[in-house]
Amino acid sequence: MVFSSLMFLYIFLPVVLILYFISPMKIKNLIIFVSGILFYAWGEPICVLIMLLSTVVDYTAGIFMHKFDDNQKKRTICLIVSVAMNIGLLAIFKYSDFIIDSVNAIFNLEILNPVVRLNRFINSIFDLGLNEERVDLPIGISFFTFQSMSYTIDLYRRNIKVQKSFINFSSYVSLFPQIVAGPIVRYEDVQKEIDTRKINVDMAADGIAIFIKGLSKKVLLANNIGILWTSIKAMNYSEISVVTAWLGILAFTFQIYFDFSGYSDMAVGLGKILGFNFPQNFDHPYMSKSVSEFWRRWHMTLGSWFKSYVYISLGGNRKGLLRTLINLIIVWALTGLWHGSSWNFVIWGLYFGIIIIIERIGFGKILEKLPSFVSTLYTFILVVFGWVLFDTVDLPSCLNYFKAMFGGSGVFIDGDAKYFIITNILIFVLCILGSTDLFGKILSKIKSKNNALIEWSAPFIQVILILVCTSFLVNATYNPFLYFRF
């Protein structure tokens, strides 16, 4: 299920919240667990078993790690089992097609993916309609496996305490606000709240405000600007004008930001309504003055996950410059691969890895001395180029798109481009302003002068926004879920 749907907003959410609020603290986690399973199974009625498997194994690994507290060898085995299982699930369900296709292409073989073979076998007995050509990626697998691993790794590192209650642990994994699109909440972040937490109207109201903000970002901004990208993406790149090409990729630049950060806001907001404080995931990334800074402000929980569990495990920057650079390359190739299993994403990750290395070995110092609009523009444009790599179908069409952006068709602006500008100018302006901290600044300025005005208008603005979003959802012709590859 996705948050930006009538089914979630008007059936799932009210039922779950009412049950959650009226039930005693003891069974609140059970409600979270059951509702999370239902939420996930709504989109993945079969693959929900994969999530349950991952939960049971990691819970058990934790229990054993605790039991053999003084036997380092056995603790290590527990960790290896947990990590191997999660990475294994990812390898099978996310990367197997990519790996086998690549091997087949290099060695000119025709190996059939064993998962596909298994699907065919199961279908022949139960007729479940499993995919017989490719492996279907279970939604959110990259999120819940990473979350689940953070528990066993941190437990191994003795950063956290063991979770003895299965219901509590599984409610952490299946906590529906963050299960399919992040933020990647580490066990460490919620370890206190998972056992006991305050739930009150005050915090719920804050959560509602954040949730509605996220919903509006997704439904009003991301979906509307996304329509523009969808139509330009489908055009013939050798014929589109320069302006059309730039409008298209800028549209995607804003779509992915408002979609993704909107999802994170909705998750954080829902978390607060339930009594959890999730980490922030986005901090106006398009205002960054260097690419390194961009990645500290974009999908922050993913960056910190890779830093804590991969970069530092590899030795980080403590083993000399060469090792540091190698470590960075590994982390960025993996970051790219995390976003989708194809070479596009690997190259996209390495692209950022290389820029970050260049910034690190000296260019960053120069950037700091430049006027801030120059360094912001530099960062923004490199990120936009990155999105071309990220969202065009394959490498040839990516190159063609770059050509179009730099005049491949020989036409600077045409009728289509003018139409796209006129019909999307307002939404573009809103997106540009919304990517900066301008609204926040204005808000806090008014707040400092007249706090009551902001406080009292908030509930009314929220009602208006949720009603407007509803009208866009009732007849939603375009409401995509962008993270099915993650």
For residue 209, give the amino acid letter. A
Q: Is 277 left (phi over 0), alpha (psi -120 to 50) or beta?
A: beta
Contact (Cβ atoms closer than 8 angstroms) between residue 302 and residue 447: no
- Asked if 70 is part of the footprint of another protein (rule: CB under 8 A), the reply reads no
- Asked if 471 is part of the footprint of another protein (rule: CB under 8 A), the reply reads yes
CB atoms within 10 A of CB 138: 23
- Asked if 467 is part of the footprint of another protein (rule: CB under 8 A), the reply reads yes
Q: Minimum CB separation from another protein for residue 127, in Å?
A: 8
Residue 109 or 234: which CB sits closer to another protein? 234
Q: Minimum CB separation from another protein for residue 362, in Å?
A: 45
Residue 65 or 222: which CB sits closer to another protein? 222
Q: Minimum CB separation from another protein for residue 413, in Å?
A: 14
Q: Minimum CB separation from another protein for residue 133, in Å?
A: 17
135's CB contacts (< 8 A; 6+ apart) are 92, 93, 96, 97, 113, 115, 116, 119
Output phi, psi for 474, to 5 deg.
Answer: -60, -40
- Asked if 270 is part of the footprint of another protein (rule: CB under 8 A), the reply reads no
Taking CB atoms within 8 Å and a gap of at least 24, the contacts of 224-229 are 224/427, 225/251, 225/254, 225/255, 225/258, 225/424, 225/427, 225/428, 225/431, 226/251, 226/252, 226/255, 226/259, 226/478, 226/480, 227/478, 228/420, 228/424, 229/255, 229/391
**Binding residue (CB under 8 A) for another protein from 90, 149, 212, 249:** 212
- Asked if 224 is part of the footprint of another protein (rule: CB under 8 A), the reply reads yes
- Asked if 136 is part of the footprint of another protein (rule: CB under 8 A), the reply reads no
139's CB contacts (< 8 A; 6+ apart) are 40, 43, 44, 47, 180, 481, 483, 484
Residue 194 or 225: which CB sits closer to another protein? 225
- Asked if 128 is part of the footprint of another protein (rule: CB under 8 A), the reply reads yes
Contact (Cβ atoms closer than 8 angstroms) between residue 9 and residue 470: yes
Q: Minimum CB separation from another protein for residue 6, in Å?
A: 6
- Asked if 424 is part of the footprint of another protein (rule: CB under 8 A), the reply reads yes
**Binding residue (CB under 8 A) for another protein from 70, 201, 322, 369:** 201
Please choose, out of 116-124, 306-314, 394-402, 453-461, the segment that lies near another protein by the rule CB under 8 A: 453-461
Active-site annotation, residues: 339
Residue 105 or 474: which CB sits closer to another protein? 474
User: Rounded to whole angstroms, how far apart are CA atoms 349 and 335?
Assistant: 6
477's CB contacts (< 8 A; 6+ apart) are none
- Asked if 79 is part of the footprint of another protein (rule: CB under 8 A), the reply reads no
Residues within window 23-62 making contact with another protein, judged by CB under 8 A: 42-43, 45-46
Quick one: CA dihedral 447, 453, 455, 460, positive or negative? negative
For residue 475, give the amino acid letter. N
Taking CB atoms within 8 Å and a gap of at least 24, the contacts of 190-199 are 190/276, 190/277, 190/278, 191/160, 191/161, 191/163, 193/275, 193/276, 193/277, 194/29, 194/163, 194/168, 194/169, 195/168, 196/25, 197/275, 197/276, 198/275, 199/21, 199/28, 199/274, 199/275
426's CB contacts (< 8 A; 6+ apart) are none
**How many residues sit in the footprint of another protein (CB under 8 A)?**
53
**Binding residue (CB under 8 A) for another protein from 470, 480, 481, 484:** 470
**Binding residue (CB under 8 A) for another protein from 314, 357, 466, 482:** 466
**Binding residue (CB under 8 A) for another protein from 92, 458, 481, 482:** 458
**Binding residue (CB under 8 A) for another protein from 71, 76, 423, 450:** 423
- Asked if 125 is part of the footprint of another protein (rule: CB under 8 A), the reply reads no
User: Rounded to whole angstroms, how far apart are CA atoms 136 and 26?
Assistant: 37
- Asked if 413 is part of the footprint of another protein (rule: CB under 8 A), the reply reads no
Please choose, out of 64-72, 142-150, 200-208, 392-400, the segment that lies near another protein by the rule CB under 8 A: 200-208
- Asked if 230 is part of the footprint of another protein (rule: CB under 8 A), the reply reads no
- Asked if 106 is part of the footprint of another protein (rule: CB under 8 A), the reply reads no
- Asked if 433 is part of the footprint of another protein (rule: CB under 8 A), the reply reads no
**Binding residue (CB under 8 A) for another protein from 259, 265, 293, 416:** 416
Residue 105 or 201: which CB sits closer to another protein? 201
- Which residues make up the interface to another protein (CB under 8 A)? 5-7, 9-11, 13-14, 17-18, 42-43, 45-46, 128-129, 201-202, 204-206, 208-209, 212, 224, 415-416, 418-419, 422-427, 455-456, 458-460, 462-463, 466-468, 470-477
